[in-house]
Structure 1
Amino acid sequence: MRTKSWVTALVLASAGSAAVAALTGDNSIKGVTEDGKKVVLRADGTWRYQADVGATLGLRLHEKPPSATAVYQTPVPQFQVMYDPSLWTTRSDRDKPDRQSFVHKTGALFATVLAEPLPLTSDEVKKLAIHNFSNGAPGGQVVLEEQRVVNGLQVNTLQMTGSPGGVAFTLYGNYYGSERGSIQVMCWTVKSAFATYEADCLNFINGLIAKR
């Protein structure tokens, strides 16, 4: 429990209009943004780039899995996180209303969503996350850093390792910021178990949704 509290404290510390559109058969709307990028607007108010746009940007496309049917509405109205309720349960912290914790059904994987109304860029959110992680985790390092398109949103993705409390952990997250707020969607487990839970972790962080 002591090790888990170290990692939880560390994670909590580390913590973009359609101009032309046509209605499609699945109640989504295809459109073109003012800068010429093709998007699909869903009936639920969310949006994503069309696949060819992701290729144009040179970024990997990710979407929430079909099993992600539960919705966590963050304190920042723009952001939601959709997740699989058969895998994850919530654990609230009344003293920290800007975040929500989640526990995997195995008890060996954990996740946190931190959303704030701070007008930061995605790069600023990423830099803050790296800075805080490095300060809190001895030997902390970034093992993966890239941009991705997640449910139509261009985000920064980080995978970091460190040893808070002397135990090696791996943290995986998506980070985004705009003039309307910032959000960090992160999950973590011990480094030796990360390969076992990587798919569930990736599916969780890919639940990030930005409402238009």
Structure 2
Amino acid sequence: MSKQFFIFIFAVIPFCIFSQINGVTEFGDQVVLYDDGTWVYINQDVTLDEEIKTNPNEFTKSDTAKFLLKSNIVNIGVWLNAKEWKFNKVMNNEDGEYELVLKNEDLYGTIITEKIEIPLKSLREIALSNARDVAPDTNIENQEYRKVNGIEVLMLEMSGTISGINFGYKGYYYSNENGTVQMILYSAKNLMESYDAKIETLLNGLVELEK
């Protein structure tokens, strides 16, 4: 499972870039230092020790989502509103299948598919590890299992800083005997709350298709 997604975001988000370096305090704590003089601790262990709870609600696709975007790798599809979302096949990420953009907005997404089956709990560890390889201060802010259109998915919300930019990510992770899908929406962290309704509507379009 590639970490190229976290590099790929710079190809689509037109923010100014600031450098960052990793360091260690006199007490042995790992930190990330930025050009503007700010710094944050790198938290490596706490998140993965937390229990993943199950949301009791049922999540289903929106009536406004009338276009089915199908994967060519895994037997999944995503119902979406084509009047709101643009999508294209990914050209510069070997594991990504589709990239998405909310029209005239700063909300982006990617759908990553592969043929290997991976347990959901392992997906959480892999996703966090890959993110921290690129943004060392990444942490999971919210996590839960959900039942979405009849399938069990893992929902993760993460945030991390890459080159001085604080990004927020929210995604669904799903795997079956035919393969694995990561469907991730992202933007600047300060914009994520305002986009949450759009994010939820798109994520809840995820469906398993017949082979």
Q: Check whether TM > 0.5.
A: yes
* Distance in 1 (alpha carbons) for counterparts of 2:153 and 2:90: 26
Give the fraction of aligned pairs with identical amino acids, expressed as a percent: 22
Choose which of 59, 62, 76 in structure 1 pairs with 2:59. 62
Work out whether residues 139 and 159 of structure 2, in 8 Å CA contact, stay in contact via their aligned partners in 1. yes
* Distance in 1 (alpha carbons) for counterparts of 2:192 and 2:88: 21
Change (3 A) 1:6 1:181: closer
* Distance in 2 (alpha carbons) for counterparts of 1:198 and 1:58: 17
Two-structure CA RMSD over aligned residues (Å): 2.3
- Give SS of 1:196's match: coil
Instruction: Name 1:133's counterpart in structure 2.
Output: 131
* Distance in 2 (alpha carbons) for counterparts of 1:145 and 1:58: 10
Give the 5 Å matches for 1:29-44: none
- Give SS of 1:60's match: strand
Work out whether residues 62 and 148 of structure 1, in 8 Å CA contact, stay in contact via their aligned partners in 2. yes
* Distance in 1 (alpha carbons) for counterparts of 2:209 and 2:98: 19
Instruction: Name 1:108's counterpart in structure 2.
Output: 106
Report the CA distance between 1:68 and its aligned residue: 1.0
Report the CA distance between 1:129 and its aligned residue: 1.1
Instruction: Name 2:36's counterpart in structure 1.
Output: none
* Distance in 2 (alpha carbons) for counterparts of 1:7 and 1:194: 19
Choose which of 91, 94, 107 in structure 2 pairs with 1:94. 91
Work out whether residues 171 and 187 of structure 1, in 8 Å CA contact, stay in contact via their aligned partners in 2. yes
**Unmatched segments (≥5 aa) in structure 1:** 11-56
Work out whether residues 157 and 168 of structure 2, in 8 Å CA contact, stay in contact via their aligned partners in 1. yes
Q: Residues 51-107 of structure 1, C-alpha deviation per residue, up to 9 Å, x if partnerless?
A: xxxxxx763211111111111111224111111111100132235475100011123
Change (3 A) 1:97 1:69: farther
Work out whether residues 59 and 147 of structure 1, in 8 Å CA contact, stay in contact via their aligned partners in 2. no
Q: Residues 140-183 of structure 1, C-alpha deviation per residue, up to 9 Å, x if partnerless?
A: 11000110001111111000011112111110000011221100
Instruction: Name 1:211's counterpart in structure 2.
Output: 209
- Give SS of 1:200's match: helix
Work out whether residues 113 and 181 of structure 2, in 8 Å CA contact, stay in contact via their aligned partners in 1. yes
Instruction: Name 1:34's counterpart in structure 2.
Output: none
Structure with bigger helix share is 1
Change (3 A) 1:92 1:78: closer
Instruction: Name 2:188's counterpart in structure 1.
Output: 190
The runs of at least 4 aligned residues of structure 1 exceeding 6 Å deviation read: none
Instruction: Name 1:76's counterpart in structure 2.
Output: 73
**Unmatched segments (≥5 aa) in structure 2:** 12-53
Work out whether residues 6 and 165 of structure 1, in 8 Å CA contact, stay in contact via their aligned partners in 2. no
Name the aligned partner's letter for residue 72 of structure 2.
P
Q: How many residues are paired up?
A: 163
Work out whether residues 95 and 114 of structure 2, in 8 Å CA contact, stay in contact via their aligned partners in 1. no
Give the 5 Å matches for 1:139-158: 139-158=137-156
TM-score computed with the length of structure 1 as normaliser: 0.70
Instruction: Name 2:9's counterpart in structure 1.
Output: 8
Work out whether residues 74 and 114 of structure 2, in 8 Å CA contact, stay in contact via their aligned partners in 1. no
